[in-house]
Amino acid sequence: MAPSKSPDVGVLHLHTYFLFPFSIDKRAVKDRHPEVWSRHTHWMDGLDDWLAAGPRSGEPGVAAELGPWRRAAYSRFDLDSPAYQDMVFFHPFVRRVFFDTAEASASAESLLRCYRIPLEGRRLWFTVDDVKQRSAKVQVTDLRLFLYANGIGILSIGIEGFRLSVAQALWINETMRKVYPSSQRQLREGRFPRRMGFTLERDGVERTLVEERFEDCAGMSGFLPPLSRTITSLLYFADYQKEDFEPVLDERMIVYTYAALDPATLPDDYISSEDCQILLSRFLYVDRGGAGYRYERQFVREQMLRQIYTRWAHQGTYYGATSYSSITVCVGNFDCDEHELREGFLIHRMFDGRYYLMAMVALFYRATLLHFAEVSAQVSKVLYLDQQDDKLSIENIKLANDLRAEFLHFANYWYFDELANKDEEIEHFMLMCREYRTDVMKNDIEEEVEKLNASLHNYFQFRNTEAVNRLAMLSLILGAGAVLTGFFGMNFGREFGKLFFEADPRAPWVHYLAVWSVMLMAFGALLFGAFVVVANWQDYRQILTFRRQGGNRSGKG
């Protein structure tokens, strides 16, 4: 096969969002920040105050220089507003749940908060280089943070570059997505940046705000990898070293990218050529530039048949998704049917609007399901250890019940197979969810949770049967005593009564023996009943203690 011409292709506009999903330990954060959540009942209500506190004094980072995260809820809803144009393509029930609005009624239903660090009028640069003298510098044009009611968060770092070569664009996507090295060998071989950082330009002078070199990296802390300062400085509100949060995925951020190819650098038949498919595969699999396919040709082509969306391929526009990337690649900027270029390029507007929002929802689904998988495993472990001791603690049973309630809430209120109104949007979302395996993961976790619930049900049914058997045994003993005393007291008199009940002087020992026998039987039955209750106090405690009132019942977290 002839060498690919892709490295000579120019990129008019590269726009990439690096998406970093993470999971917050809500209980640990609330305990560590009582000054915030003592004033708020729900997790969502305290987020604004938590983030507004800003970084600690003297701590370097973008937020320390440009200010903390600020709430970025939708406030305008006229036809020209971003809110209207973003929301109109989604079903009403999706708008209520996945859009952060300033209106009090809508905000009460929304289960997320959106924040931004404003960059208007500022030139913030993302810079990287490696040991092979390769480097890149692109402008950061968007910093966004999504926090959800279940403790999942997504950090979004948007960068843009213009008039790049394909090799530069591919290297930027592949290199800047890294958040920690998987080994020291990666650094030595140039497969991971030697340095990455954010710099701020003012009056032509650049100043480094934060950088990461991994020179003093001590390795893992517990089970957590050494996350780059470029990430932790943006998540200043949570202490990574104290495990306030943890990455949901691996050492790479999700790459959500748009690339407009320069038509002046393309041959006339480029769209239908093998070189075009090679270039798409490099963007789709977030590989660096090179001749030919990165992987075995037949394997890649078969994968791309299900991972590339070709509704608009005849116009040179391709969409694609994998478990770690989502791409929009088009040839140039042009009028799209009746959509005029002077109103903004339609494909880029869709990339930066509703498709971006769908990508966030799909990634949220994946992050939440991975979080459920972790929690389900932990709950199963503590219940297994309890059952080994033949005693389930109330706290661990509550953990299992909370897990089931949270999953039902997610499955019934958060999770939608269909987000949008139109076929193209539905197909686009289904492509992302299929690659994230959200349906498969959801069904697997649903089965695990139901099995866990069935296991608890069987356990309590067994314990209830034991309790009923003990009650029957106590009833038999007490009943036998009652029958015996009643039998003698009601059915015999005269000489027999005198002998047993009136202490006949001729045989007083018979009377006293009868009294002691009845006393031993009565008090023995009572003592045995008390022993049974004490020995099985765990079974009876719940019915004798008062239930605690209140708690979180709103579903807001």
Average pLDDT of each block of 10 consecutive residues along the chain (557 residues)? 55 97 93 89 89 81 91 84 84 87 64 92 93 93 96 97 95 95 84 92 90 78 85 93 91 96 90 92 94 92 94 91 96 79 85 94 96 90 80 80 89 90 91 95 91 79 71 68 61 55 64 73 73 69 52 42
pLDDT at 171: 95
Q: Is 245 part of any domain?
A: yes
**CA–CA gap between residue 50 and residue 514 (Å, rounded):** 76
Q: Which pLDDT score, from 0 to 100, does residue 543 have?
A: 55
- What is the reported pLDDT for 101? 84
pLDDT of 430 reads 95
Question: Counting every residue, how long is the chain?
Answer: 557
Of 461, 488, 517, the residue at which a domain comes to its end is 461
- Take residue 475 and report the two structure tokens written for it: 């009833």
Tokens of 177: 């997505």
Are residues 265 and 332 located together in one domain of the fold? yes
Q: How many angstroms separate the CA atoms of 526 and 528, rounded?
A: 5
- Which amino acid, residue 492? F
Residue 555 is assigned to a structural domain of this protein: no
Identify whether residues 212 and 276 lie together within a single domain: yes
pLDDT confidence of residue 490: 56
Say if CB 344 and CB 260 are below 8 A apart: no
What separation in angstroms does the CA of 302 have from each of 164, 296, 298, 320, 325?
29, 10, 6, 14, 17
Question: Could you please report the per-residue DSSP string of 501-531?
Answer: HS--TT-HHHHHHHHHHHHHHHHHHHHHHHH
Amino acid at the residue 195? R
- Residue 28 shares a structural domain with residue 53: yes
Report how many domains make up the chain.
3
Please give the helix or strand (H or E) that residue 145 lies within, else none. Answer: strand 135-148
Rounded Cα–Cα distance for residues 137 and 430 (Å) = 34
DSSP letters spanning 259-277: EEE-GGGS-TTGGGSHHHH
Is 91 part of a structural domain of the chain? no
pLDDT of residue 477: 66
Q: Are residues 128 and 244 in the same domain?
A: yes
- Nearby residues of 424 by Cβ (< 8 Å), 6 or more positions away: 311
Alpha-carbon gap, residue 525 to 482, rounded angstroms = 11
Task: Give the residue from 392, 427, 461 where a domain finishes.
Answer: 461
Question: Helix axis angle, 508-535 relative to 537-544, nearest 10°?
Answer: 80
Is residue 110 a part of any domain in this protein?
A: no
Residue 554 forms part of a structural domain = no
Same domain? 126 vs 159: yes
Task: State whether 383 and 250 are in the same domain.
Answer: no
Exposure string over 238-277, b if 16+ CB within 10 A, otherwise e? bebeeebbbbbbebbbbbbbbbbbbbeebeeebbebbbbb
Give the domain extent around 446. Answer: 363-461
The reply to whether 84 falls in a domain is: no
Q: Which of 352, 373, 396 is the last residue of a domain?
A: 352
Question: What are the C-alpha distances in Å from 158 to residues 19, 20, 62, 139?
Answer: 9, 11, 14, 9
Note the pLDDT of residue 527.
77
Same domain (yes/no): 332, 376: no
User: Residue 6: its pLDDT value, please?
Assistant: 46
Assess if residue 34 is contained within a domain: yes
Burial zone of 300 (CB within 10 Å; 0-12 exposed, 13-18 middle, 19+ buried): buried
Q: Specify whether 324 is located in the same domain as 403.
A: no
13 and 138, same domain (yes or no): yes
State whether 219 and 298 are in the same domain. Answer: yes
Q: pTM to 2 decimals? A: 0.84
Looking at the fold, whether 310 and 423 belong to one and the same domain comes out as no
Same domain, 279 and 192: yes
On whether residue 552 sits in a domain, the answer given is: no
Separation CA 522–CA 453 (nearest Å)? 42
